[in-house]
Amino acid sequence: MLTQSDILALGPQIEVKLAGIRADIAKLSQEITGDIDYSSETYIGTHKKLRARENRKAGLEKLQKLVASYVDSHTILSGKSTDAELITLATEELALIEPEIRELYLSFMSETAKFQNVVMEIRAGAGGDEATLFAQEIFRMYQLFGASRGWKVELTDTELSEKGGFRHADAYIEGDDAYFWLQYESGVHRVQRVPETESSGRIHTSTISVAILPEVEDVDVKINPNDVVMEAYRSSGPGGQSVNKTSSAVRLRHVPTGIVVTSQVERSQLKNRDAAMRQLKSRIYQAQQEAQDKELGDIRRGQIGTGDRSEKIRTYNFPQSRVTDHRVKKSWFNIAGIMEGDIETLLTDVRTLLTETGIQTDASDEE
């Protein structure tokens, strides 16, 4: 939890981060000036990085001003001032800006703040067709939430069930603070409801898994091209039927780790390869982080849960219109709105409770 002492000591830390970001901005700005093809992938990629760093710089500068105000108010309260009105104003100022400082700290000072975009993987679990249908609904929930924030959400690989649900779906989410909002969504999501095909009205329980991986840059993960084996094949639809007459789908296998990723949504083999490589980098980064966490015995990660797919993190109970997050032991009673993408309050509550209070995951709760 961010204490008063932590806030008072933030000034120099913010300045160090700002110095690094300003240097990055200057370097990236230099790369996109002069004689350059503005439609090239190099320009587009560099401009995207530049925009992300400028957004982070603006956030850190706002945090810097708030911390300066906090220090000034704290100095007044810690001094020998007898001005009752001044003391009241300083007290009100601290109470007003402290929550905003905490929120901005999580957004721009945490280790995950450098990540913007997300690679998302959704897999149907127990429950047959009902699980695949719920997997599709959960993807739609995130898609609608992303649309409300101006994100670009695109499927990169899917396998449909005979009922039209997702056996699995991989997606790329591009947008400001996408990882910040979705980073705690990894885990098992459980649904309790009466399926449309259930004539007796019996409630079924099904599960899906969600994995949220940060998109990483080359500075985060280095991949030797000689370590990657690519296989091109024809994409297929439900039941294995061919939907593309050319070998545009791509499967990449990273030999050292054994990680395999696929992409088949695009008709272009090059675009599918780019999407698969993006996913591969994120998967390798995740594997590296998990190995490091295990070696170091990360205590905080143990407090808030690993986010591993084996952990049941949330239940969607349709008969009671209730969504419960088992990690923070909190429920929301607007399931219809949540399934339509109205999840900002839910995500904020979960993030705040997990990061501020360090509530321990208890995935054994049953309803």
pLDDT of amino acid 195: 86
Whether residue 311 sits in one domain with residue 280:
no
Question: Which structural domain range is residue 244 located in?
Answer: 225-296
- The crossing angle, in degrees rounded to 10, of helices 84-108 and 10-31 is 50
CATH code at position 350: 3.30.70.1660
- Domain boundary among the residues 296, 318, 335 is at 296
Q: Is the dihedral of CA 51, 44, 279, 209 positive or negative?
A: positive
Same domain, 97 and 119: no
How many Å apart are CA 340 and CA 144, to the nearest integer? 7
Domain boundary among 109, 125, 142: 109
Residue pair 153/171 in contact by the 8 Å Cβ criterion: yes
Does 103 lie in the same domain as 25? yes
For 27-56, b where at least 16 C-beta lie within 10 A, e where not — what string?
Answer: ebeeebeeeeeeeeeeeeebeebbebbeeb
Sign of CA dihedral 281, 283, 286, 292: negative
SS3 assignment, position 330:
strand
Question: What is the Cα–Cα distance from 128 to 121, expressed in whole angstroms?
Answer: 18
> Same domain for 204 and 309?
yes
Q: How many CA atoms lie within 13 A of 90 on its CB side?
A: 18
Q: Contact 120/183 with Cβ under 8 angstroms?
A: no
**pLDDT for 292:** 60
CA-CA distance, 230 to 233, in Å (whole number)?
Answer: 10
Residues 192 and 271 occupy one common structural domain = no
60 located within any domain: yes
- Residue 189 near residue 174, CB atoms below 8 Å: no
Residues in the chain: 367
**Token pair of 19 as six digits:** 């110095």
Q: How many domains does the chain have?
A: 3
- Count of C-beta atoms within a 10 Å radius of residue 62: 15
CA distance between the termini of the chain: 30
Q: What is the pairing mode between strands 204-214 and 152-160? A: unpaired
Q: 192 near 315, Cβ under 8 Å? A: yes
Residue 364 maps to a domain: no
Same domain, 103 and 119: no
Domain end among 109, 132, 150: 109
The answer to whether position 209 is within a domain reads: yes
pLDDT in tens, the chain (367 residues): 678 888 999 999 899 889 988 998 998 888 888 777 766 777 777 887 788 888 889 989 999 999 999 999 999 888 877 888 899 999 999 999 998 998 888 888 876 777 788 989 999 999 999 999 999 999 999 999 999 999 999 998 899 998 889 999 999 998 888 998 999 999 999 999 998 767 677 899 999 999 998 887 655 677 888 889 998 887 665 444 444 556 788 889 999 888 998 888 777 888 888 888 888 888 888 887 777 656 544 433 443 344 344 568 999 999 999 999 999 999 999 999 999 999 999 999 998 888 765 544 444 445 5
Q: Quick check: is 208 in a domain?
A: yes
Give the per-residue pLDDT at 313: 95
- Residue 26 belongs to a domain: yes
Q: Are residues 286 and 350 in the same domain?
A: no
Most distant CA pair in the chain, distance? 82
- Report the 10 Å Cβ neighbour count for 16: 10
